[in-house]
Amino acid sequence: MRTTALAIFAHPDDIEYFGAGTLLLLREAGFEIHYFNLSTGSCGSVEMDVEETRRVRLEEAQNAATILGATFHPPICDDLEIFYDLPTLRKVAGVVRKVKPSIVLTHPPQDYMEDHTNTCRLAVTAAFTSGMPNFVTDPPSRATYPEDVFVYHSMPHGLCDQLRVPVTAGSFADSTTVIDRQREALAAHASQQNWLDHSQGANSYLQVLDTLAERVGSLSGRFEKAEGWRRHLHLGYSAKDEDPLSEILGDRYLINQNYPEL
């Protein structure tokens, strides 16, 4: 399989909270990793105007991607303007077709806000078009690739859906040894300290990461810190029902034997 992974998330710092640990593990395993936030983070400040917020958060996201050792792809929307529409889908599919990932990491289908759920839908459909030369991307490209694509969904914010129903991880990636680098990448988003304190009472946005990683690690029953994942159904994406993260990450990956699936 191609050793390329693409993280497609909504806002600057979403990757750091929900998927950067797994990206770092993949990088250690020899993968080329890519970092793509759909939104500029334009609403993420109560102090800066929209133009300055876009500029500051773009610079922070680029710095975070550098810390992770990931290739950065610029955002294409503003906050609360990520919609599942054709122009946006063409742009997301254009990035997928350029990167040609074998693994796509993205938000879950159920989450607390629509920017996340719409990003998930866009990522899933864009991955589905990877082998379709007749689907027009932006920028236009017929350079499709026939290899399998495996889509993984992160845990939702709060570890529950928008109706407060707990979400169970299908598998866990051990982020214990990479949490320091993950935290360093999150710290690059320095503008979010005041914003999260103001909007969500987050106290310390770095502590939120540690608490989340510890909670998911505890749910795994094995790892000190972890990220949780659920696999998208393979039909239309890969020829076989496989879980490549299991093979790639080895003993740093745990399948939840109690996860309900066919």
SS3 readout for 133-148: CCCCCCCCCCCCCCCC
Q: Which has the closest alpha carbon to 27: 173, 239, 192, 187?
A: 173
How confident is the model at residue 195, as a pLDDT? Answer: 63
Q: In terms of DSSP H, where are the helices of 29-170?
A: 50-68, 86-99, 114-128
**From CA 236, how far away is CA 243, in angstroms rounded?**
15
- Mean pLDDT within 50-73: 97
CA distance 260 to 12: 32
Taking the C-alpha atoms of residue 137 and residue 117, their distance in angstroms, rounded to an integer, is 21
Average pLDDT over residues 218-245: 97
pLDDT at 49 over 90: yes
pLDDT band at residue 260 using 50, 70 and 90 as cut-offs: confident
Whole-number Å distance between alpha carbons of 76 and 199? 24
Q: Is the pLDDT of residue 206 over 80?
A: yes
pLDDT reported for residue 47 = 87
d(CA 53, CA 35): 20
Number of other residues whose CB lies within 10 A of the CB of residue 133: 12
Q: What pLDDT shows up at residue 189?
A: 94
pTM, rounded to two decimals: 0.95
Lowest average pLDDT, out of 87-96, 178-187, 192-201, goes to: 192-201
8 pLDDT higher than 60: yes
Axis-axis angle for helices 50-68, 20-28 (nearest 10) = 30
Say whether pLDDT at 203 is over 60: no
DSSP 155: P
Q: How confident is the model at residue 199 (pLDDT cuts 50, 70, 90)?
A: low
pLDDT at 202: 55
28, pLDDT greater than 80: yes
Q: Which residues pair with 71 in a beta bridge?
A: 34
Are 233 and 246 spatial neighbours (Cβ–Cβ below 8 Å)?
no
Q: How far is 172 from 67, CA to CA, in rounded Å?
A: 23
Residue 141: pLDDT band (50, 70, 90) is: confident
According to DSSP, residue 156 is labeled P
- pLDDT value at 15 more than 90: yes
Rounded to 10°, the helix 50-68/179-187 angle is: 160
pLDDT at 197: 60
Predicted pLDDT of residue 200: 62
Compute CA distances 237 → 64, 124, 127, 130, 246, whole Å. 30, 10, 8, 9, 18
pLDDT above 70 for 262: no
pLDDT given at position 196: 65
User: Which domains, ranges and CATH numbers included, belong to the chain?
Assistant: 4-255 (3.40.50.10320)
Other CB atoms within a 10 A radius of the CB of residue 30 amount to 8
**Average pLDDT, stretch 95-119?**
97
**pLDDT mean across residues, the chain:** 94
Does residue 10 surpass a pLDDT of 90?
Answer: yes
How distant, in Å, are the alpha carbons of 113, 152, 160 from that of 163? 11, 22, 8
Dihedral angle sign, alpha carbons of residues 260, 255, 17, 115: negative
Q: Can you give the pLDDT at residue 145?
A: 84
Q: What is the pLDDT of residues 158-176, one digit of tens each?
A: 999 999 999 999 999 999 9
pLDDT at 211 (0 to 100) = 94
Q: Tell me how far apart the alpha carbons of residues 123 and 255 are, in angstroms, rounded to a whole number.
A: 23
So what's the pLDDT on residue 144? Answer: 84
